[in-house]
Amino acid sequence: MSAVSSLCPEIGGYVVAKFGGTSVANFDAMNSSANIVLANKEVRLVVLSASAGITNWLIALAEGCDADKRADYLKQIHTIQHAIVDRLHDSDVIRQEINRLLENIKALSEAASLATSDALTDELVSHGELMSTLLFTELLRQRGTDVEWFDIRKIMRTNDHFGCAEPDNIQLQSLVTEYLLPRLQNALVITQGFIGREEKGRTTTLGRGGSDYTAALLGEALNLKRVDIWTDVPGIYTTDPRVVPSAQRIDKIAFDEAAEMATFGAKILHPATLLPAIRCDIPVFVGSSKNPQAGGTLVCDTTAAPPQFRAIALRRKQTLLTLHSLKMLHAQGFLAEIFTILSRHNISVDLITTSEVNVALTLDTTGSTSKNGYLLTNALMTELSTLCRVEVEEDLALVAIIGNQLSQVRGLGKQIFDALEVFNIRMISHGASNHNLCLLVPGKDAEQIVQTLHQSLFE
């Protein structure tokens, strides 16, 4: 019995397997991922990210750059993809396909050098997944597998919020039944994560890390047995092992705990991934494509005896807005006006604290593939300034302590803040959820704070 199946309940049906960028980074990584797919006959649908590094180069091209930089970025992308093509047999046809996409990238990057846009960015960035899935399909075909490449844009319809588009689940359910399900019954299907199409036919993206979300949405629409997420880490840990080498793997974790971790920065899962899984109670397995026999983490509905402290998550690049106005004092509707303005500019608020004449709120600047991840546009600042004085603090980090029934733990504050007495804590948020206590801290101190907390709470 495999490390995966020994953890997972038998509920019938197929499995969707998603492989991240490092799992398809080069020919050897793709070959290892193919081994995982072929070893499990229940895997009928595979979702891929772009090869590692490709998306970053494509975003750099989409931001508009001079001819020398453009040539350098294009060369990097060409090198990564052709290193895989060169390892394939009878590669003339697939080489032509990859070259055609590389020519598209070149043309789009030249257009971006003249005028950038979020729509152009999404069109350009989508080529990473198109190339990786074509290469992976050809690799499997050459290994004698009955396999079919499928363009996810046929079924993944979204709104036109380029850079972080939201899928239409009702359309997805209908289109999956019509176009995808019949193919699964005849062949192994390889498709793209992260990308979709809006009603006018333009390509969209679901935000950075959106391939996990794609896999979960397809698992829900097809009522599959399980979603397997294959990455470069064998499971979910008590914190990022790159920050704390002594971090411990969590073998089984509940949906709500994992959702808190994903929301507050744990990079193993995209924050939206668990929403479809929770709706349909589909278990999610997280394992390492480099070492599939090492086991991993099963995310499911409930776990026995959940611990008081489960994990520490870190999210960098946070922005703090402090809004000051005497009009707030005993006034009604001030916050409503503020949130209406933020909504008009497609900005969601993470944490918020208030006093008589001040509101402090945090904005997450990560997650979108939009060319300007910077959210504080001149238009937004001008509109806010008509209501209040605005102060902006950047280069902050959010440290979230994830656990169970934290709002009912006596001495919680003392335990945490005694450990952090030498650090400056800019903002504290606690009480809205039983599962987290959030600290906004200077970015330069973030890793040391995580290390100190982990030693105090877990070691």
- What residues form the annotated binding site? 18-21, 55, 129, 231-232, 237, 242
295 phi/psi in degrees, rounded to 5: 80, -160
One-letter amino acid for residue 259 of the chain: A
Rounded Cα gap, residues 155 and 18, in angstroms? 17
66: tokens are 């001079």
d(CA 28, CA 26): 6
Q: Which is it for strands 309-324 and 358-364: parallel, antiparallel or unpaired?
A: antiparallel
CB 114 within 8 Å of CB 108: no
The CB density around residue 59, as the number of other CB atoms within 10 Å, is 20
Give the annotated binding-site residues for substrate.
Answer: 55, 129
Residue 349 sits at the vertex; the CA angle it makes with 347 and 352, to the nearest 5 degrees, is 150
Q: Sheet harboring 389-403: ordered strands across?
A: 352-354, 358-364, 309-324, 389-403, 436-442, 427-430
Tell me how far CA of residue 34 lies from CA of 64, 202, 296, in angstroms. 36, 31, 18
Bridging pattern class, strands 15-19 and 226-231: parallel
CA distance to 147, 345, 384, per residue, from 340 (Å): 49, 9, 10
In angstroms, the first-to-last Cα distance of the chain is 33
What is the CB neighbour count within 10 angstroms for residue 443?
A: 14
Phi-psi map region of 90: left, alpha, beta (phi>0 left; psi -120 to 50 alpha): left
10 Å Cβ neighbour count for 385?
A: 11
Binding residues for ATP: 18-21, 231-232, 237, 242
Ramachandran assignment for 201, one of left (phi > 0), alpha (psi -120 to 50 degrees), beta (any other): left
